[in-house]
Amino acid sequence: MFSYKNLRSENLKPLLVVVKILHFISIAVLALVPICIIPGMYIGFSVPYILSFAVYAAFGIILAGLLASLVAFEESYRQRTVHLEGARRDQT
């Protein structure tokens, strides 16, 4: 499972790493919540308590998507600026 594998950035590489880790952990938690319901009931946890982790996982996926869109916007803006600076140098 490789999330955001085509997304690249020159300036926001640490944020991109955080986005990928957050997305991976959120997907893993979202996949483990249904598996943990039955064992959790036998241990003594209530079902709503276990299902609340799905909300946190969904929030993590949404946050990772928003941060990834920020990285993509910054990278496209950087590429556009580099292109415009190159065109300006060619004119002079």
Q: What is the pLDDT of residues 59-89, one digit of tens each?
A: 999 999 999 999 999 999 989 998 888 888 8
Q: With respect to residue 26, please indicate whether it lies within any of the assigned structural domains.
A: yes
Cα 14 to Cα 18: distance, rounded to the nearest angstrom:
6
Q: For residue 7, tell me if it sits in a domain.
A: no
In a domain, 46, yes or no: yes
| Residue among 61, 33, 40, 21 at smallest CA distance from 13 | 21
Q: Is residue 3 part of a domain?
A: no
Is 81 domain-assigned? yes
* pLDDT of res. 7: 83
Residue scoring higher pLDDT (7 or 36): 36
- Residue 22: inside a domain, yes or no? yes
The reply to whether 1 falls in a domain is no
Average pLDDT over residues 25-50: 92
- How many domains, the chain? 1
31 lies in a domain? yes
